[in-house]
Amino acid sequence: MADAALKLGAEPKTTFLDKVSDLLPEQGHLNLCLTCGACSSGCPATGLEGMDPRKFLRMAALGMDEEVTSTPWVWMCTMCTRCVHACPMQINIPQLVFQARKSWPEEKKPRGIVQSCKAAMIDKATSSMGATSEDFVESVEETLEQVRSQQRGYKDLQVTFDRKGAKYFLNQNSREPMAEPDEMVPLWKIMHEAGADWTYGTAGWAAENYCMFAGNDEEWEKIVRIKAEAVDALGCEYWLNTE
């Protein structure tokens, strides 16, 4: 029996957990895990690639850096934060996932996410589909004309661009104007019925930010900055992001 006993040595040599702990407020509470499994119970990614939030956290805590920073499960996590809300200790596992994503070489990250991030950097529109501000304006104007002419009670529906002093600056996911323009209309109607004073911007109009999902801090910040500066330039009081 003595030969089968495990020999416990020094603390595991880890760099990933130490790095993450330094980045997160109060070290992300990572060492407070009760292993209760509440995080995994409501996670939509539980079981994929043989992984779940509880297992992922415990692997990080045990110093299994190579496994944590190479498992494709981090790209299946939706970062919805359900695990944080379910956790009695409020451990921020999505932040742990985000740091793991950052550790991946660019060429090994999911191609779709990386390309969407790069597309958003092409134009001031920040569209992950590579749509320009001109594309957006054209789609909105065509859809608006259809609503005014075909739908009863909305002949006076207004949609403006770059209107200074509007109270609300509204973002729109690129998918709607480029692929499903009719999906923009319900939101216009809500704003209309509420009597909201709102406008679109031609700069920073795209609501999505795939650079965040790619774990690209620098380009994530650039996209947010373009949008924030567009809001400030118009003097809008509130920024409504549909994402």
Same domain, 179 and 72: no
Same domain, 95 and 166: no
pLDDT given for residue 4 in this prediction: 46
Query: Which residues, 6 or more positions from 10, have their beta carbon under 8 angstroms from its beta carbon?
Result: none
User: Whose CA is closest to 77, among 46, 41, 107?
Assistant: 46
Backbone φ, ψ for residue 209 (5° rounding): -145, 90
Same domain, 34 and 67: yes
Same domain, 139 and 200: yes
pLDDT given for residue 95 in this prediction: 86
Same domain, 35 and 66: yes
Residue 233 lies in domain: 111-240
Predicted structure pTM score: 0.79
Question: Which of 74-88, 180-194, 223-237 comes out lowest in average pLDDT?
Answer: 74-88
How many residues are present in the chain?
Answer: 243
Same domain, 45 and 65: yes
Same domain, 78 and 157: no
Domain-located, residue 3: no
| Position 168, amino acid | Y
Same domain, 143 and 179: yes
- Binning pLDDT at 50, 70 and 90, where does residue 32 land? confident
Kindly state the percentage of the chain with pLDDT values over 70: 90
Same domain, 84 and 185: no
Same domain, 223 and 150: yes
C-alpha distance from residue 103 to each of 17, 188, 210, 221 (Å)? 12, 41, 17, 18
Q: Considering its fold, how many domains does the chain have in total?
A: 2
Same domain, 88 and 164: no
